[in-house]
Structure 1
């Protein structure tokens, strides 16, 4: 037993302490004196009803199987009106931090109450406070290197799947918007990949602005697709700087009138502090060349077993010759390569091929596609970004793209909002302080 200052801890902490048995387990007793042996804390319930279902307890040497409800204090039972809810009549133990009153079932029998604070080490609470108050890059930055590798790997595996599930959910929303048109959704994700982080939204707007099936209509007609995409992007000047730009402008004016097109504002595009090879003008030219060769990209993704074979379809696609001596319209530069690089194809795979494959498998109940998507991520080299480099410095290095995607998900969904109580690493750090 330990003396703990009266601080109102979150109910989630009490749930974790119960679920993970982070308390002195030797001889715990209810407030009424009943001796309790926890055989199973139960299954955490994410839906309405008691917090833990089908718990197995031995209370005064009598086996009980039923539900466990968790509260900060006993009065919360009445505040939540559990006394009027029949689902709580099968509660066999009420676990609270502060006990102030007796709880009874509808038939008048008392529900045993365990005041958990009497059995929790002060060191666990100090660790929880340390994690929540930390101002480090992530709460456990000063302790992460001491966490066993198998726990880190367990969390990375969970986060990699969580990130794929999140992307699949986003794709499901796009499918609703595009009336179940997988190819249109794939074209949007493919285009967003060309925008990288800075111009992702602008590329999304560009594809969304195009009439249905227009890319299919002009497949094989690269110049028309260049005119269409550059025109819709708002990047064709009314006063063209050279013959190439003038030709695209004239073709776009025709297409604009034919399809009643409304172009984007050129201000949507970002050029500052970017490598010229990533300028949106260059990426739009590459995108037009890809769509000139193929538009049924989803079909290609799903039907291709091997990731490198899929990427090989895009290796030899190049832009118009104009872009080998230009990064923007009207300004000649030294001749350079404009093919899609293998590194950029890996980026496209991470942000388009893999999510589409996973979402398609999820939607159609095809486990083999889900496994293939994860396998593809494991084949791609680790992404280099601030998140992966920060984690590497404090003891968690990514080995491949599945890991780097997992680290991004971990940082955004758990570390930044300090969801340590939902993280295997955070729970381990709480548990190791138990005395």
Structure 2
């Protein structure tokens, strides 16, 4: 048989082995009263297990290995944390287990006790031929309630992991939610390709500095484009020349240092997504928005949240340009609906969740989840793959969960830790 130790953990945890006439390695009758709680930290694999060996009931820890000789290979013989192991569960019992104090630990061998059908399903998922995910031949048949419950859990895992970055930034920003939100929003305005330079720009240009010039859109635009490094070259048009003049003054006033202009990427981007256009839109948002995060905490209606980004209008110069000094056919440069939804997913929903978690207010966590439920599903390679497998993705709640499922479960073949994989393995 070909399997990993995780498979034996799974078999033991759910007692998916033949349990009739169980005996330890020295022939004593064995009854499993409780398999114990799986331990994800260091130490024995299962805590607080209860077994009856002969006439005695034992309570303690259980260790699981492919072979009993792995105990020595893993160095457990020199670790006192394993001295209270009451049962050694192995696939193959090749050597007796004797602790340093002379006590022999009872061993249960699972060889010939694992059902062939269970092993075959596991082997097909983990080692079988696959194009997209391990369970691609079975996932469409999973009960809708089971799938929904698992996606909810996976989505919360995703938001909790991503909220760690929010907490780290909050610590750096002296717990200033507005500043932290501004930095994350800026990074997400880069839409992956230009996320890094946008983040560096926001960190180099505090929101407090911008707030001092709220009533002067030209100065806001000068600060944004200047710090982005786009005013360091020779310019020709009147508009960028004005920006440069304003920036040169403000740069000295605030001792500003622009980021490197070469960090911005134009290659393989549609002109509407050029960083110059995104910067113009970001500047317009700064001009039109005051205390944006505070507003988001108060606004419950999704259309009102969208309106915060829908109504921004860039400087008229950009209606006929995608880059400085290069004319183009006049086109409106407002943010598109899909771009706005991405900002709502990656910034607003995350910050509502993080705020609720930080302040222990379930209300904001629930608002975050409801927001995702009311946003359309994302369209990308991963969601398209799941659709080809027969799944229907109804909203961003599900698409975000499926991204987490694919990237942190399927890609690593963590089928035994997955609610979907568990269900497939247990199918009769």
* TM score, norm. by length of structure 1: 0.90
Count of residues paired in the alignment = 427
Moved more, 407-416 or 87-96: 87-96
SS at match of 1:168: helix
The match for 2:169 is 174
2:143 is the counterpart of 1:148: yes
| Among 26, 29, 33, the residue aligned to 2:27 | 33
Cα distance, 1:117–1:296 mapped onto 2, change above 3 Å: farther
SS at match of 1:198: coil
The match for 1:91 is 85
The match for 2:229 is 234
The match for 1:249 is 244
Looking at structure 1, the residues matched to 123 and 257 of structure 2 have their Cα atoms a distance apart, in angstroms, of 54
2:410 is the counterpart of 1:421: no
Moved more, 16-25 or 357-366: 16-25
Q: CA RMSD, aligned part only? A: 2.4
Moved more, 57-66 or 226-235: 57-66
The match for 2:268 is 273
8 Å contact 2:93–2:109 — kept in the other structure?
yes
For structure 2, the 5+ residue unaligned runs are none
SS at match of 2:282: helix
| Among 4, 11, 35, the residue aligned to 2:5 | 11
Cα distance, 1:396–1:56 mapped onto 2, change above 3 Å: farther
| Cα distance, 1:247 vs structure 2 | 0.7
| Among 335, 347, 366, the residue aligned to 2:361 | 366
| Cα distance, 1:59 vs structure 2 | 3.6
The match for 1:121 is 115
Looking at structure 1, the residues matched to 122 and 342 of structure 2 have their Cα atoms a distance apart, in angstroms, of 38
Cα distance, 1:10–1:295 mapped onto 2, change above 3 Å: farther
Moved more, 347-356 or 104-113: 104-113
Looking at structure 2, the residues matched to 190 and 349 of structure 1 have their Cα atoms a distance apart, in angstroms, of 10
Moved more, 402-411 or 111-120: 111-120
SS at match of 1:118: coil
Structure scoring higher RCO (CA < 8 A, sep ≥ 6) equals 1
Looking at structure 2, the residues matched to 283 and 399 of structure 1 have their Cα atoms a distance apart, in angstroms, of 29
For structure 1, the 5+ residue unaligned runs are none
8 Å contact 2:182–2:207 — kept in the other structure?
no
| Cα distance, 1:287 vs structure 2 | 0.6
* TM score, norm. by length of structure 2: 0.91
| Cα distance, 1:86 vs structure 2 | 4.9
The match for 1:334 is 329
Q: Deviations over 1:122-181 (max 9, x none)?
A: 443444343333452222223322333333223211211111011101112222333322
2:49 is the counterpart of 1:20: no
SS at match of 1:50: coil
Q: Deviations over 1:76-133 (max 9, x none)?
A: 3344454555543443221112212333567755432111223113443444343333
SS at match of 1:327: strand
SS at match of 2:61: strand
The match for 2:348 is 353
| Cα distance, 1:312 vs structure 2 | 2.6
Q: Deviations over 1:201-224 (max 9, x none)?
A: 221121122246212222232111
| Among 218, 237, 256, the residue aligned to 1:223 | 218
8 Å contact 1:42–1:67 — kept in the other structure?
yes
8 Å contact 1:362–1:370 — kept in the other structure?
yes
8 Å contact 1:388–1:397 — kept in the other structure?
no
Looking at structure 2, the residues matched to 110 and 237 of structure 1 have their Cα atoms a distance apart, in angstroms, of 76
8 Å contact 1:220–1:293 — kept in the other structure?
no
8 Å contact 2:130–2:136 — kept in the other structure?
no
2:295 is the counterpart of 1:300: yes
| Among 391, 395, 416, the residue aligned to 1:396 | 391
Cα distance, 1:432–1:326 mapped onto 2, change above 3 Å: same
SS at match of 2:323: coil
